[in-house]
Amino acid sequence: MASNYSYNQLNESAASAIARHMEDSDSIDGGHCARVSSCAVRFAKSLRLCKTDIEVLRLGGLVHDIGKIAIPDSILFKPGPLNPEEIRIVRRHPVVGEHMCAQLELLRNVLPLVRSHHERVNGSGYPDGLAGREISNTIRILQIVDIYDALTTDRPYRKSLSMPQALAILNDEAGRGWLDSSLIDPFASFIIASGKTATFRDPRATELRQTIRHAARESAAVPSAK
């Protein structure tokens, strides 16, 4: 019985953490997740993906980095290179995020995106070393958008890169077998067509955050089994 109680406490904590993250997501990650969600949706629409995949990308983009809540700020905002132990801690965040999101029925369909957005096509990614078609198309799209946004925004360890610089890095990573090379040219065309100063904001982002926050609060309010 004690173990069941502890498990329910963990579930409540995860749901509460999601609620807090969605309450103040822009200040926590600088708007990264909101931008990734919106950009992934627009890119997916340009590829004429089905509505189901588009909605998975919309929700998955908003919560894909939720597991970073468990990373100490001293590591998350470290201005220099990470040491091996810090890298190990950072690489836990997809699994932590998957566990957190698994507590909400609303997010069950996006668990693969949360867990696997750092996998690589050649199998050298983490946490599971997935390769090839083991990585779904929606995950491949999220990966590219996630990296592009990270490259084109300021980080503690470097200044933002320009559009051409970021696209060149994506192309290089595809050449190394890390990203899906078949998506790089379409993404570059999409970004260029969007314009250098384009900002990706989803008008539904606030509504979606409120929906996730409400679901997390309801889940956290369910009494634990004793």
Q: What is the pLDDT of residues 53-65, one digit of tens each?
A: 999 999 999 899 9
* Sign of the C-alpha dihedral computed for residues 117, 121, 126 and 128 taken in this order: positive
| pLDDT band per the 50, 70, 90 thresholds, residue 218 | confident
Q: What percent of the chain has pLDDT over 90?
A: 55
Q: Is 189 part of any domain? A: yes
Q: Is 201 part of any domain? A: yes
Q: What is the pLDDT of residue 25?
A: 56
Q: Is 169 part of any domain? A: yes
The answer to whether residues 142 and 64 touch, using CB atoms and an 8 Å cutoff, is: yes
Q: Identify which of 142, 141, 130 has the alpha carbon closest to the alpha carbon of residue 61.
A: 142
| pLDDT band per the 50, 70, 90 thresholds, residue 219 | low
pLDDT surpassing 50 at residue 169: yes
In the chain, which residue ranges form alpha helices assigned H by DSSP?
2-23, 25-29, 32-46, 51-63, 73-76, 84-90, 93-101, 111-116, 137-151, 163-175, 181-194, 205-221
Q: How confident is the model over 9-50, as pLDDT tens digits?
A: 555 566 667 766 666 655 556 788 888 999 999 999 999 999
Q: Is 226 part of any domain? A: no
* DSSP codes, 148-165: HHHHTS-BTTBPPPPHHH
Q: Identify which of 207, 140, 146 has the alpha carbon closest to the alpha carbon of residue 174.
A: 140
Q: How confident is the model over 171-183, as pLDDT tens digits?
A: 999 999 999 999 9
Max mean pLDDT range (2-11, 38-47, 153-162, 198-207): 38-47
Q: Is 139 part of any domain? A: yes
Q: Is 45 part of any domain? A: yes
The tokens describing 71, both together, are 């990373």
We report the CATH number of the domain holding residue 114 as 1.10.3210.10
Asked if residue 81 has a cis previous peptide bond (ω within 30° of 0), the answer is: no
Number of domains in the chain: 1
Average pLDDT, stretch 58-73? 90
The range of the structural domain enclosing residue 13 comes to 2-221
